[in-house]
Chains A and B, each alone.
Chain A
């Protein structure tokens, strides 16, 4: 399969899986207004996934559509970042995961908006408007929890520490990434690290949280090697279209 297909699928899958994860909070949010805010984010991400999967299906050229790519693929064919499949945990974990992802997505789309691929440039321009708001939302919560009560501070720090090992993959280049960057289609992941580090360290400092030091980083999601959590997400997400093929409402 072409590198472009792989690359678009990776971005699509990260959006899709994170959107699915966030939607688990629907009707369980800590406050009604926050419930709406977080499910708005979930829907935005699923919207980005839909655009990207639609494009991936066209590139693949096998007559599949976005839904078939989303619902009829098995786990080892998913290429999302490991970060996004991590469980929601407490609200601090959800916010930490979102904070890491939003900072990455902002940097990614800002550069992809200049892509030599017109379609991806347009998707990036649209997505960026939404991810900038997501970043604002996750930042606000990181500050409130980090610089809040003793318990909220401790939970927020625990979440940052626990998820840190999945942030290395955001900036790990492989041959697909290098090929995309050489053609000016997508940013080189490693090139975004300084910008991400600056954004995250500024928020953590203001939130009175400490940034974890260098440590072993997990990777493999982009290549289809996942943590044990992905299978459960797919089981829930894919059950209906697999049990009732072609179901519509």
Chain B
């Protein structure tokens, strides 16, 4: 068995038509085509989806965990950003 690992690809599955693709995990593969095949074999064995995306993991730019406070906590005390201050007219259905 080779000691050298293939690159990592992140796997996204659309569970049914109309829903968005959701991240489900990752696979190793030599290239994108193989990643797609591997994702099919590893993540869709139990009818999990109807469409697959794979993205090379190092193509994803992620926020830094240490930025969490500066990035996300300011939103906590801005309740006015939620649309909860509106009276909903009785005539509006389905909200």
Chain A residues at the B interface, C-beta cutoff of 8 Å: 30-34, 36-37, 40, 136-137, 140, 144
Does B27 belong to the interface (CB within 8 Å)? yes
Residue from the list B1, B2, B41, B45 in contact with A33, Cβ < 8 A: B41
Chain B residues whose C-beta falls within 8 Å of the C-beta of A32 in the assembled complex: 28
Beyond A30-B1, A31-B6, whether A36 also contacts B42 by CB under 8 A is yes
**A38 to chain B: closest CB distance in Å?**
9
Chain B residues at the A interface, C-beta cutoff of 8 Å: 1-2, 6, 27-30, 33-34, 37-38, 41-42, 45
Closest to A43 in B: B45
Judging by beta carbons under 8 Å apart, are A34 and B38 in contact?
A: yes
Chain A residues whose C-beta falls within 8 Å of the C-beta of B41 in the assembled complex: 33, 36-37, 40
Q: Which 9 A-B pairs have the closest CB atoms?
A: A33-B38, A37-B41, A33-B27, A36-B41, A40-B41, A36-B42, A33-B28, A33-B42, A31-B28
**A116 to chain B: closest CB distance in Å?**
32
Chain A residues whose C-beta falls within 8 Å of the C-beta of B38 in the assembled complex: 33-34, 36-37
The 24 listed contacts between A and B (C-beta, < 8 Å) are A30-B1, A30-B2, A31-B1, A31-B2, A31-B6, A31-B28, A33-B27, A33-B29, A33-B38, A33-B42, A34-B38, A36-B38, A36-B41, A36-B42, A37-B37, A37-B38, A37-B42, A40-B41, A40-B45, A137-B37, A140-B33, A140-B34, A140-B37, A144-B30
Number of A-B contacts (CB under 8 A): 29
Residue from the list B2, B29, B37, B42 in contact with A136, Cβ < 8 A: B37
Closest to B42 in A: A36
How many Å lie between the Cα of A33 and that of B37 in the bound state?
9
Chain A residues whose C-beta falls within 8 Å of the C-beta of B37 in the assembled complex: 37, 136-137, 140
Closest to A137 in B: B37
How many Å lie between the Cα of A40 and that of B6 in the bound state?
21
How many Å lie between the Cα of A32 and that of B5 in the bound state?
11
Closest to B28 in A: A33
Closest to A34 in B: B38
Closest to A29 in B: B1
Chain B residues whose C-beta falls within 8 Å of the C-beta of A37 in the assembled complex: 37-38, 41-42
Closest to A38 in B: B41
Chain A residues whose C-beta falls within 8 Å of the C-beta of B34 in the assembled complex: 140
Closest to A40 in B: B41
